[in-house]
Amino acid sequence: MGESDEVRAAVGSEGPVLPFPRVLVKVSGEALMGPEPFGLHPPTVSAIARDLAALRERGCEVAVVVGGGNILRGARVAGEDLARPTADNMGMLATVMNALALEQAVEKAGVPARTMSAIAMPSVCEPYARQQALRHLRRGRVVILAGGTGNPYFTTDTGAVLRAAELDCAAVLKATNVDGVYSADPKTDPNAVRYEHLTHDEALARDLKVMDAAAFALAREASLSIIVFSIRDAGAITAAATGAGRATLVSP
């Protein structure tokens, strides 16, 4: 049985055929803050978890990479008194804290979840291993990937694209505070135009900030589609994955 067949079997022979049988959702740490200035906002975490659980219940296999900017961003605190590798390691630990909170919230939403970290801490969560992550996905668990790439100087955007490529995901769903990719910052330019669809080459030629340069270069090399959408609305993740939401698709 192929992966697409496994997904259809999970929802029954008459169930919906989703455009993406397996996706990776990139959730920033800031998205978990909700209205708070720092840390976690439990109602917001629960709402995101319910959306992830709903997508899984639709038959889509779901991996998640979570950021840590709501607690600590390594590049921001690095400086003369704190080396960048040390600061980035601290930031990666922040992503583990967020992942554990999200894991519990997804389980409360009724779907099994597993946190896997690129930084080994077996008393807290599973170390990331590709084959084990694939087993979890095929068994219907939401896999929450923490610790970035496990290396300093790489963003969680790069970690998200890397894991999506490793886990044979059909698309990266990048949750942001805006409903897609614009020609300019829509917060400051009232004439900014939102794109419905772009190719990787078009996004590069127009210098559009889909992801940081390393992440986008890897997505282009791996021919990964990227869906950029706003996470502010209820059900936004499922809508983006099923093609029903307002978003920008960046594809090969």
Render pLDDT for 104-118 as a digit per residue (tens, 0 to 9).
Answer: 999 999 999 999 999
pLDDT tier for residue 5 given thresholds of 50, 70 and 90:
very low
* 3-state per-residue secondary structure call for the chain: CCHHHHHHHHHCCCCCCCCCCEEEEEECCHHHHCCCCCCCCHHHHHHHHHHHHHHHHCCCEEEEEECCCCCCCHHHHCECCECHHHHHHHHHHHHHHHHHHHHHHHHHCCCCEEEEECCCCCCCCEECCHHHHHHHHHCCCEEEEECCCCCCCCCHHHHHHHHHHHCCCCEEEEEECCCCEECCCCCCCCCCCEECEEEHHHHHHCCCCCCCHHHHHHHHHCCCEEEEEECCCCCHHHHHHHCCCCEEEEEC
pTM of the model as a whole: 0.90
pLDDT tier for residue 209 given thresholds of 50, 70 and 90:
confident
pLDDT tens, position by position, 21-76: 999 999 999 999 999 999 999 999 999 999 999 999 999 999 999 999 999 988 88
Q: Which domains does the chain have, with CATH numbers?
A: 3-11+23-251 (3.40.1160.10)
Name the percent of the chain lying above pLDDT 90: 81
